[in-house]
Amino acid sequence: MKLEPAVLAALKECVGPRGFSEDPREIAPHLVEWRGKYHGSSQLLLKPQSTWEVSRLLSICYSTRTPLVPQGGNTGLVGGQIPLNGEVLLSLSRMNAIRSVDADGMSIIAEAGVVLAEVHRVADAADRYFPLSLASEGSCTIGGNVATNAGGVNVLRYGNMRDLVFGLEVVLADGRVLDLLRTLRKDNTGYDLKQLFIGSEGTLGVLTAAALKLAPKPAEHVTAFVTVPNVKSAIELLHRLQAASAGMVSAFEFMSQMALEMVLKHMPQARDPLSAPAPWYVLAEASSGAASQLNNRIEQSLAEAIRDGTATDAAVAANEAQRTSFWYLRDSVSEAQKKEGGSIKHDVSVPVAAIPEFLARSIEAVEKLVPRARPVPFGHLGDGNIHLNFSVPEGGDSAAFLARWDEITRLVHDIVHEFGGSISAEHGIGLMKREEILRYKALHEMDVMRMVKHTLDPNNILNPGKVIAP
């Protein structure tokens, strides 16, 4: 699409000379997502610095029916943040202030462009803890985290982003500002409107700030890297550690042998902390306050699991450096897999008890369809969120393999649906799964979603074509 000169001039005037760019070189990094699957186009990048500026911009876009795409740190994996049809690109990167920290009230108010790692730093300085943790936390932003209902590794104990938000500041499609930045833990005065915007991927409003829940800062972390003979044993180990720690397990991650081998092959700092390879690996972490003897309880539970064959070996981090090295193995899986050539990825969830059978059926079905395809399952075993990825057969043609993306994905998603699962556990719908949800969601559920979209964005200017088909 080509912007009308008068519209272009009005948008530029609204944000001033530092608040926009028409330079293709500056815009280019915003037009492609991390995997390179989606490439977009835009002639104008807007960089507002205040909620007032966002309000004015949306008012102009609404009255002129000019579509725009909000973007955070551009770490999304389903194309939701990419302007695919020349829309105006709206970056919230300059709205990066921490507005307040309330240590007593256990809350922090951050603008949408604040990077997640900065929220961690500020919370830590206040002797508090913000539990959302992602591999991309050095570049993803709070606005994007809220817009996609981000999950990460600590969902098991603390919940996903939907559970970590007190309130929001949202600019509606017509420019009105919806101030929901309350930090009350109890507010039963009608519809909880903020929930409409969490996970909406910028299709219902532009998030400009969020009031976030803080937690007590853990005094002790116990982090273990464990080998197990099969996925069923991993789930049994989860239950044991939860019982031993009185529910203090915050993260329970798993990866296959192939996933770890890719990390050890491609990531120079990676070291296997255990002596022998195994079919499956678990990274478990529990945390608590001081003087809880959590370390002793976890170590005793691991020893019992090894004695009865539930686990085969385990290493418990003796210091922060070892803990970091364990997490490096888990956090590096996606980057290592990328170096192995084309990969087809699935972000799905099923009931935890169903994971062993789901993995067995899905892997068998894909390997039958594409012989020698390399399964690389890993993810958040404790909450049922599996990143079931497949790499191109060794020595195979990546382009030919990726051309079968839709075929393989349909196969996996049908199996997910049979188990009562979700085809998007934490990455969102974006463009990638927009048509897929029509296959699995009930018609009346989709009708209500369309009604909400039309009510809040009747001119369809907010991230058009994402989440819900036009």
Q: Which residues contact 171 (CB under 8 A, 6 or more apart)?
A: 51, 54, 55, 58, 177, 178, 205, 206, 208
SS3 content of the chain, % helix, strand, coil (to 5): 40, 20, 40
Whether 408 shows a pLDDT value over 80: the answer reads: yes
Q: Which residues pair with 466 in a beta bridge?
A: none
Whether 297 shows a pLDDT value over 90: the answer reads: yes
Closest CA to 355 of 373, 379, 333: 379
Quick one: pLDDT band at residue 77, thresholds 50, 70, 90? confident
Please state the rounded mean pLDDT for residues 408-413.
Answer: 97
Whether 124 shows a pLDDT value over 80: the answer reads: yes
pLDDT at residue 314, as a whole number? 98
- Equal fold, 220-329 vs 340-427: yes
Quick one: pLDDT band at residue 20, thresholds 50, 70, 90? very high
Quick one: pLDDT band at residue 277, thresholds 50, 70, 90? very high
Name the average pLDDT for the chain. 96
Closest CA to 393 of 361, 362, 367: 367
Q: Which residues contact 51 (CB under 8 A, 6 or more apart)?
A: 95, 169, 171, 177, 208, 209
Report the topology of domain 220-329. Answer: Alpha-Beta Plaits (3.30.70)
Residue ranges covered by each domain of the chain: 5-91, 98-216, 220-329, 340-427
Quick one: pLDDT band at residue 131, thresholds 50, 70, 90? very high
Please state the rounded mean pLDDT for residues 178-188.
Answer: 95
Give the CATH number of domain 5-91; options: 3.30.43.10, 3.40.980.10, 3.40.50.1100, 3.90.1150.10.
Answer: 3.30.43.10
Quick one: pLDDT band at residue 469, thresholds 50, 70, 90? confident
The predicted-structure confidence for 413-460, as pLDDT tens digits, reads as follows: 999 999 999 999 999 999 999 999 999 999 999 999 999 999 999 999
Class of domain 98-216: alpha beta
Q: Which residues contact 69 (CB under 8 A, 6 or more apart)?
A: 40, 42, 81, 82, 83, 87, 88, 89, 90, 202, 463
Backbone angles phi, psi at 182, to 5 degrees: -90, 150
Please state the rounded mean pLDDT for residues 87-102.
Answer: 98
Looking at domain 340-427, its CATH architecture is 2-Layer Sandwich (3.30)
Amino acid identity, residue 273?
P
Whether 470 shows a pLDDT value over 80: the answer reads: no
